[in-house]
A = this chain, B = another copy of it.
Amino acid sequence: MHAIDYRAADTYAVGDVEVARWEQFALGDLLPFGAMWYEVAPGASSPVDCHPERELSLVVSGTALVHAGGESVEVAQGSAFVLEPDEDHTVRNLSDERPLVVFSVYWMACDDAPVSLAGQVAHA
């Protein structure tokens, strides 16, 4: 068993967000995905983010207002959201008093890789 302590994690700032990536725990090839916690300051929002990885996020503390794919969805503590590859997204902390904490895992989906299909042009 490996225990990973959120409170002992080193973080770095991205705008109003403190990010704690799991690379710091030197787990090697243990996980087939990246992982991180991030904390959005009270009343703040994450900068617009967009990446080729699919991402599963779980709200650890607080309530998030997630803007992505042309919609805005409120995600309560304990609930989750999945972001598609290349989907612009921001995550707002709906509390003006307490930080919003989110845990995410992210990975390159095999079906997002360029493939050649008969009669179709592969996307680069």
Interface residues in chain A, defined as those with a beta carbon under 8 Å from any beta carbon in chain B: 1-7, 27, 29-33, 35, 37, 54, 56, 58, 60-61, 66, 68-69, 71, 73, 75-84, 87, 89, 101, 103, 105, 107, 109-111
A81 contacts B4, CB within 8 Å? yes
New contact pairs (4) apart from A1-B84, A4-B81, CB-CB < 8 Å:
A3-B81, A27-B82, A35-B56, A37-B78
- A-B contacts, 6 of them at CB < 8 A, read A6-B79, A31-B56, A33-B33, A37-B78, A60-B60, A78-B101
B1 contacts A79, CB within 8 Å? no
A4 contacts B78, CB within 8 Å? no
